[in-house]
């Protein structure tokens, strides 16, 4: 009788990992499929630190500046955020031109993102964030 109980306990002590592996593979597939759907944001080509200046190819880039007083300048001309899409659309005229965004370091992050969202809505594909090299 004691030998029979020991055999039953040995049989119960073995864990079948096949269902666990099956569940893990299903979860992995679900995460692989849903992960790209969770990514949201703006496509921005950011320059690397201490990178050489970029030679512009083709047309002259547009420069959008956000001053420390929260004034948005398109070139040298002040523009309200609500009028910015129309002005940039008129200046681009359907051609793909890069836009350089210069913002004062004291500007809140949300203000810069708001301007970048406007650029994205207008169809600007290349946005460069202008910085100064370290040590200046």
Give me the CATH number covering residue 78.
3.30.420.270
Residue 103 lies in a domain: yes
Residue 56 lies in a domain: no
Tell me: the pLDDT tens digits for 64-100? 888 888 888 888 888 988 988 888 888 887 777 888 8
Residue 78 lies in a domain: yes
Q: Tell me the pLDDT band of 30, cut-offs 50, 70 and 90.
A: very high
Above 70 in pLDDT, residue 28? yes
Backbone angles phi, psi at 98, to 5 degrees: -75, 155
81 and 124 part of one domain = yes
Residue 68 lies in a domain: yes
Q: How many domains does the chain have?
A: 2
34 and 67 part of one domain = no
Residue 135 lies in a domain: no
Residues 66, 103: contact at Cβ < 8 Å? yes
- Burial class of residue 50, CB neighbours in 10 A (0-12, 13-18, 19+): exposed
- Domain membership of residue 13 as a residue range: 2-38
Q: Tell me the pLDDT band of 3, cut-offs 50, 70 and 90.
A: low
The whole-model pTM stands at: 0.55
Residues 74, 87: contact at Cβ < 8 Å? yes
Instruction: Give the whole-number percent of the chain exceeding pLDDT 70.
Output: 73
Predicted pLDDT of residue 21: 93
Tell me: the pLDDT tens digits for 49-62? 565 565 556 667 88
18 and 76 part of one domain = no
68 and 100 part of one domain = yes
16 and 75 part of one domain = no
> Using CA of residue 81, residue 85, residue 86, residue 89, what is the dihedral sign?
positive
Mean pLDDT score, 98-127: 86
Above 50 in pLDDT, residue 45? no
């Amino acid at each position: 009788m004691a030998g029979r109980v020991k055999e039953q306990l040995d049989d119960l002590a073995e864990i079948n990992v096949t269902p666990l592996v099956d569940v893990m593979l299903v979860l992995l597939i679900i995460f692989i499929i849903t992960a790209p759907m969770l990514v949201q944001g703006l496509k921005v080509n950011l320059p690397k630190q201490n990178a050489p200046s970029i030679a512009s190819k083709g047309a002259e880039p547009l420069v959008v500046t956000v001053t420390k007083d929260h004034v948005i300048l398109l070139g040298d001309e002040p523009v309200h955020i609500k009028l910015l899409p129309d002005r940039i659309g008129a200046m681009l005229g359907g051609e793909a031109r890069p836009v350089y965004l210069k913002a004062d370091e004291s500007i809140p992050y949300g203000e810069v993102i708001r301007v970048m969202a406007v650029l994205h809505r207008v169809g600007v594909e290349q946005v460069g964030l202008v910085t100064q090299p370290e040590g200046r």
